[in-house]
């Protein structure tokens, strides 16, 4: 199973606004009619229950949404760029470009990982009573883009854990309709397998986690990547071979417990039902003695101890009842703090500068001034400071939002250099 993938996601850039004027013989007083540019598309993860792993994303590492179309004359707005949807299996976790955590668990759930840019306004938008023929328009803004990592964690209620060849696959095949590969050699199971136990009023999803060995939490054997699948589980069924070919049952049990603790994420605190497997290989009297010893050793630290045989079916009905009875309610953990619920596309977005006033002023070593703040930088990103009318409009906006006053308090004088984002210009206000 492909449990992780690293991909490049990039929203579509916003389209530019249009500079246009209506000129028709029968319209003596035309005027600006430049349309707005379209917004760029977003890159969206979509929870698709038909997907089983992230393997398909490894071959295509770059995902770009469509850019917005530029505005045109006659008040024609540019078309919005189409979103790029990436189907992922339930249980996928990721972190969006803006840092928000995403946890996709419900079929159809959507989450934006890279937002498209905003389309620029056409010159018609800048018409006022004193500016009746604006010869400037806004550029579209750039989109979010970055590498993001996706990780898949199975949506299972119960995790079957134990050393290789403890009998987990055989147990899962007996308890559910799952058909895992069963073999008489270690590491028969190379990827997690799911199965479902049906009860009268509830069901439980079991995950057969590939066998753990000492050092698994640090990447030994099949590695700690499989331990991550247990993080979503509400309880553990820990299989211990009653008469292992190698090693001591108690030592084997402690090895797996140590790896659960070393992995972290609270796995060692999950409710645990201990299952002594392959009871058909021991006389009934020895099985009864082993059960008593294990119950005395573990006591209230576990939910209980059950001895079973996947070969003969002994103890299976009791195990099924115990799993359904002991499975905590609710079976699912809540979404982690900051995780994103199903998010649907909003046509209108509001961009607000962060921090007090949304900006601050710094004097630089060469005597110039730099204005910092995403809101102000975005304003200048959208306009051409080489256009005199656009620069006059920007100076007016800087005055209205208080930037000129802040520059003056910092020692600014008309004609000094001002830098905002990637742009540098002389300000004469």
Give the model confidence (pLDDT) of 387-425 as tens digits: 989 988 988 999 999 999 999 999 998 888 899 988 888
Q: Given this model, what pLDDT does residue 115 score?
A: 96
Greatest Cα-to-Cα distance within the chain, rounded to the nearest angstrom: 107
* Confidence at 223, pLDDT banded by 50, 70, 90: very low
Higher pLDDT, 384 or 83: 83
Higher pLDDT, 48 or 332: 48
Quote the crossing angle between the two packed helices 374-381 and 388-400, to the nearest 10°. 160
Give 200: exposed, middle or buried? Use CB within 10 Å, 0-12, 13-18, 19+.
exposed
Fold of 4-153: Spo0b-associated Gtp-binding Protein; Chain: A, (2.70.210)
CB-CB contact of 137 with 19 (8 Å): yes
Separation of CA 44 from chain center: 10
Domain 158-326: give its CATH architecture. Answer: 3-Layer(aba) Sandwich (3.40)
Per-residue pLDDT, averaged over 258-268, amounts to: 81
Closest CA to 199 of 83, 286, 323: 323
Q: Is the pLDDT of residue 322 over 70?
A: yes
Enter the DSSP assignment of 122: P
Distance (Å, whole) CA 137 – CA 17: 5
Calculate what percentage of the chain has a pLDDT beyond 70. Answer: 83
Q: Can you tell me which residue has the tokens 């009746």?
A: 132
Domain 356-426: give its CATH architecture. Answer: 2-Layer Sandwich (3.30)
Q: Which of 109-123, 153-167, 191-205 has the highest mean pLDDT?
A: 109-123
Q: Which two tokens stand for residue 139?
A: 């550029």
Q: Is the pLDDT of residue 147 over 60?
A: yes
The model carries a pTM of: 0.65
Distance (Å, whole) CA 33 – CA 342: 39
* Confidence at 307, pLDDT banded by 50, 70, 90: very high
Please state which of the ranges 12-21, 132-141, 162-171 shows the lowest mean pLDDT. 162-171
Please state which of the ranges 123-137, 323-337, 382-396 shows the lowest mean pLDDT. 323-337
Distance (Å, whole) CA 379 – CA 118: 12
For residue 146, how many other CB atoms are within 10 A of its CB?
13
CB-CB contact of 278 with 244 (8 Å): no
Domain ranges of the chain: 4-153, 158-326, 356-426
Q: Which two tokens stand for residue 359?
A: 């900006």
Q: Which of 18-22, 172-176, 245-249 has the highest mean pLDDT?
A: 18-22
Q: Given this model, what pLDDT does residue 22 score?
A: 85
Per-residue pLDDT, averaged over 280-294, amounts to: 93
Distance (Å, whole) CA 170 – CA 308: 11
Q: Can you tell me which residue has the tokens 């990637």?
A: 422
Separation of CA 345 from chain center: 16
Q: Given this model, what pLDDT does residue 286 score?
A: 93
* Confidence at 426, pLDDT banded by 50, 70, 90: confident
For residue 260, how many other CB atoms are within 10 A of its CB?
24
Query: In degrees, to the nearest 5, what angle opens at C-alpha 14 toward C-alphas 8 and 19?
Result: 155
* Confidence at 212, pLDDT banded by 50, 70, 90: low
Please state which of the ranges 10-19, 63-72, 90-99, 243-252 shows the lowest mean pLDDT. 243-252
Distance (Å, whole) CA 88 – CA 48: 6
Please state which of the ranges 246-260, 304-318, 337-351, 407-421 shows the lowest mean pLDDT. 337-351
Q: Given this model, what pLDDT does residue 63 score?
A: 95
CA distance to 170, 183, 195, per residue, from 187 (Å): 13, 9, 19
* Confidence at 312, pLDDT banded by 50, 70, 90: very high
Integer-rounded Cα Rg, in Å, for the chain is 31
Distance (Å, whole) CA 333 – CA 275: 24
* Mean of pLDDT over the chain: 82
């Amino acid at each position: 199973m492909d449990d992780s993938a690293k991909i490049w996601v990039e929203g579509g850039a916003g389209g530019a606004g249009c500079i246009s004027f209506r000129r028709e013989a029968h319209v003596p007083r035309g005027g600006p009619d430049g349309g707005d540019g379209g917004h760029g598309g977003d890159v969206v993860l979509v929870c698709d229950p038909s997907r089983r792993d992230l393997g398909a994303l490894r071959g295509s590492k770059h995902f770009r949404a469509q850019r917005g179309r530029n505005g045109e004359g006659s008040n024609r707005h540019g078309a919005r760029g189409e979103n790029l949807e990436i189907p992922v299996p339930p249980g996928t976790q990721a972190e969006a470009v803006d840092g928000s955590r995403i946890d996709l668990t419900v079929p159809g759930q959507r989450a934006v990982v890279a937002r498209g840019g905003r389309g620029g306004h056409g010159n018609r938008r800048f018409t006022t009573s004193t500016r009746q023929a604006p010869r400037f328009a806004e550029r579209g803004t750039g989109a979010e883009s970055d590498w993001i990592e996706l990780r898949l964690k199975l949506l299972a209620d119960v995790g079957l854990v134990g050393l290789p060849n403890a009998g987990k696959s055989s147990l899962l095949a007996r308890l559910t309709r799952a058909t895992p590969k069963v073999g008489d050699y270690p590491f028969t199971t190379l990827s997690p397998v799911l199965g479902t136990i049906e009860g009268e009023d509830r069901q439980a999803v079991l995950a057969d986690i590939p066998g753990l060995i000492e050092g698994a939490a640090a990447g030994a054997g099949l590695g700690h990547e499989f331990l991550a699948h247990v993080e979503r589980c509400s309880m553990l069924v820990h299989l211990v071979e009653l008469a292992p070919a190698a090693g001591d049952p108690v030592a084997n049990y402690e090895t797996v417990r140590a790896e659960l603790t070393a992995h972290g994420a609270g796995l060692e605190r999950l409710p645990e039902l201990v299952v002594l497997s392959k009871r058909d290989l021991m006389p009934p009297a020895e099985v009864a003695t082993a059960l008593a010893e294990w119950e005395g050793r573990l006591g209230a630290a576990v939910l209980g101890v059950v001895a079973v045989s996947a070969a003969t079916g002994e103890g299976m009905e009791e195990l099924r009842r115990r799993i359904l009875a002991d499975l905590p309610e609710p079976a699912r953990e809540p979404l982690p703090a900051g995780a994103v619920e199903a998010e649907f596309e909003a046509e209108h977005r509001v961009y607000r500068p962060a921090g007090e006033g949304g900006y601050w002023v710094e004097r630089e070593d060469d005597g110039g001034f730099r204005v910092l703040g995403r809101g102000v930088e975005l304003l200048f990103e959208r306009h051409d400071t080489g256009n005199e009318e656009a620069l006059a409009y920007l100076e007016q906006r800087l005055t209205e939002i208080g930037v000129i006053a802040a520059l003056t308090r910092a020692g600014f004088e008309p004609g000094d250099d001002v830098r905002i984002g990637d742009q540098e210009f002389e300000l004469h206000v």
